[in-house]
Structure 1
Amino acid sequence: MTDNLKNLLSVDFPIDPSNLPKHIAIIMDGNRRWAKSRGLNPVKGHEQAALNVIEPLIDRCGQLGIPYVTFWAFSTENWKRDKIELTGLFNVFRLGLKNLASKFIKKGARLRILGDINKFPKDIAKQSLDMMTQSSKNHKITVTFALNYGGRDEILRAVKKMITENVSPDSIDEELFSSYLDTAGIPDPDIVIRTGGEKRTSGYLPWQTVYSELFFTDTLFPDFTPQKLEEIIVAYQQRDRRFGGDSKKIKVNPQVSAIA
């Protein structure tokens, strides 16, 4: 999906409240490039994302009635980065988790974590677990952060857990396997958005996104606004989701729905 969504739409379509996605998953790419383009330390890009961008997006999802939103904040591959940057990034996590957790727990949000957080500094792991516990009874919206997450790693951990629990191979089906993934209890994403211009999913929720609609934008994540999110939702609503079956929807604008 290109950036100029409004130019691609034949009419200025409003968001259809009867056809909203249940789950939007976002790959937050471009934080470091945003900072470097402004002559700033790369960590400043992560700060901008954590303190000024994520909250308005969550608020807009809540206002629209979208019950699940997931942000990929740290990949298993990100450990390869410079130690100084990692230290700064962990400090951003501490600040971001503290600020967002307190605000969104009060707003009725349930907060979850995907990934192996045991490899993070102990205080961040504890902060994450406390956040999940404190918000466990909230149901207005489920906000998930993928921390130390990799799709292959998630699948390997699920398989190892099944082996440890002596799960019978004959009992394994898609539903059972899904229950061993980090996303157990969360519906598969309807929309995957990657900011920053790259056109790949990089192992983000590979099991869960086989039927997701993919949208790639050149916008760097610190510049990604609720308005841009709304434009993608409008484009999503014009796509024909067949899930392997026959078309049941009249394509309002084939030019948009054909864009990958």
Structure 2
Amino acid sequence: MASINLCTDQLLLPLADPAQILGLSRFSHDAWQSWAADDARRFPSLSGGAEDVLVLKPDVVVTSLFDKRSTRELLKAQGLRLAEFSVPRNLDEVKAQIREMGEIVQHQDRAAADIARLDAAMARARRAVEQKHYSVLPLSRRGWVSGSDSLVSSLLTETGLFNAAADLGVGTGGFASLEAIVEARPDFLLLSEAGDRAEDDGRAFLLHPALERFYPLSGRIVIPERLTVCGGVMLADALDLLVAELQRVESSLRAKRSNP
């Protein structure tokens, strides 16, 4: 079996036996992008093209519907079986994909265990935010806001938090200005990284003095993108980190109020 997509890598790795995996995507070894990078380094990294996959002659190629159509069609024309996954938009779709991958590798028991882990993490997150009604704005480079049509937004909503993108008039996602963000005044920003260095203009947006004034570290929830960019069992880690980050920022707020 071979995977040629970063997200299908991370569905495959927790469920398959090592002997079932012939190769993974070209980004699989990158710890910045892949939650499963340490495990992935045991396997060859593929180019993403059809040639090196054809050499391997896998029984199944797992890939995303957003990968190059020409590559997928060429693999099919050569008689290879493809399992093509869409981009999940909510936890139910994630769990459905875990079940599907479990069936492909014939380890349904592992898939059931991963789903149980996700359900337990979601239950913990719901208990942690019960009755709090915080508004959270998922904000990325250059002011990109993740709207309702995103996995991150779904996680916020399902835990009982409110995606403040709606207050900015951003439906499925889009760019927001500094002025609009400050005016909307969400309780917290949700970022994929902390730090105080601006390597480029995109990063500089997040460190603008106006944002730092209203949203210092005590107003920023940080969850690395590798935990949320794909659907899979890593979302359990994302949910647990969300709870820990909420506890941190709440503690900072209490300290600030007691020491005005």
**In which range does the TM-score fall when normalised by the shorter chain?**
under 0.3
TM-score, normalized by length of structure 2?
0.25
Query: Quick one: higher RCO (CA 8 Å, sep 6+), 1 or 2?
Result: 1
**Between Structure 1 and Structure 2, whose CA radius of gyration is higher?**
2
Q: TM-score, normalised by structure 1?
A: 0.25
